[in-house]
Structure 1
């Protein structure tokens, strides 16, 4: 399992190309350096280990995906980043 953080430092869990919230909720899949929600809509771009929402990438689509829940993580928040883009709309 790999850890990834949002722009503001919230931890995300990554396992097998699937992304989960800190509490284990399925958020979507990684494809081509981007995260797509379960319906296949763009959710974020991965930049230097951070998930960042970029409006310039928001026109991309992927196919729908399924993922079960995972156990929560006790991973602590990281410092916020000055990367260009916005905090993605992921639940904690």
Structure 2
């Protein structure tokens, strides 16, 4: 993944990506990307990347990763995108 990638939650909230780290629009550290999934700072599954969307899928929720730490970053003025009909639920990520 690269820093130029734009990700959004299923409902269209923008996420910032820097390397394999994911941040909310306000700059709060959300977690990291590993094998096409986002894991929260404690290593718990937070969502699956489908195209440019992060969606929560119960079928993937048993996966785990190691805990991670990252400093927050400057917020973003990125606009929200339209919601998506992709299969899955809105992930529980900060805005």
TM-based fold match above 0.5: yes
2:72 corresponds to which of 60, 69, 72: 69
Q: Which runs of 5+ in 1 are unaligned?
A: none
2:6 and 2:70 mapped to 1: Cα distance? 17
Partner-residue secondary structure (3-state), 2:87: coil
Structure 1, residues 14-40: CA drift from partner, whole Å, max 9, x if none? Answer: 001000000000000000000000000
TM-score, length-normalised on structure 1?
0.98
1:79 aligns with 2:91: no
Partner-residue secondary structure (3-state), 1:12: strand
Matches within 5 A, 1:1-92: 1=3, 2-92=5-95
Count of aligned pairs between the two proteins: 92
1:3 and 1:69 mapped to 2: Cα distance? 18
Flag as ranges the 4+ runs of structure 1 deviating above 4 A: none
CA RMSD of aligned residues (A): 0.6
2:84 and 2:66 mapped to 1: Cα distance? 30
